[in-house]
Chains A and B, each alone.
Chain A
Amino acid sequence: AQKITQTQPGMFVQEKEAVTLDCTYDTSDQSYGLFWYKQPSSGEMIFLIYQGSYDEQNATEGRYSLNFQKARKSANLVISASQLGDSAMYFCAMRGANTGNQFYFGTGTSLTVIP
């Protein structure tokens, strides 16, 4: 079975500071993909970043980076230089090789950026 755990229901960060959102996962698959999505108050889910289980380098996309620690089964999202527009819900998700195209999601972290 696949499981994603996000232990931080809510986080606050000062504008221009960096913040780390935690995500741990559990899977028996050898090959899997990890995703982060952002959900603003408008409701739409926006894809942020992807990490494959065999990728040797941590994924980066602009101000987003993924701190992938395979042995610890963690895939934390790091947002650098936070902006007010980063205030949103953030979801970690995983797709395993044996789950077809089905994604498993965590419960989300609500991030608030303080001016």
Chain B
Amino acid sequence: DVKVTQSSRYLVKRTGEKVFLECVQDMDHENMFWYRQDPGLGLRLIYFSYDVKMKEKGDIPEGYSVSREKKERFSLILESASTNQTSMYLCASSFGDGYGYTFGSGTRLTVV
């Protein structure tokens, strides 16, 4: 089975810290995505990547950046964490056109 692994299930960080959320997939998927999930808002796309060293902004990229140095790893970076970035972060990957997503188990980030 395809597996998408997010390095942390729960994370607590202080305001102003630089935060790294890591996501690794093990099935050579081309596409990787970062979403944040908030009650009543559903899932909103932050950034995505179709290839190594390639990135595209999603609907809410402000305050975030990403890195994809290797095909299997897609990192989400909060340059200076703020309390409004407290959320559930979900990573997903897919093989290509016409394929569905496989999700990681999510990271619940709390910024205090």
Chain A residues in the interface with B (C-beta under 8 A): 4, 6, 9, 33, 35, 37, 42-47, 50, 91, 93, 100-103, 105-108
Contact = CB atoms under 8 A, between A and B. Distances in A.
Interface stretch (B13-21, B63-71, B72-80, B89-97): B89-97
B108 interface: yes
Interface in B4-42: 9, 31, 33, 35, 40-42
Interface of B: 9, 31, 33, 35, 40-45, 48, 50, 58, 88, 90, 92, 94, 96-106, 108
A106 B94 CA distance: 19
A44 B104 contact: yes
Contacts of A50: 100
B31 A101 contact: yes
B42 A101 contact: no
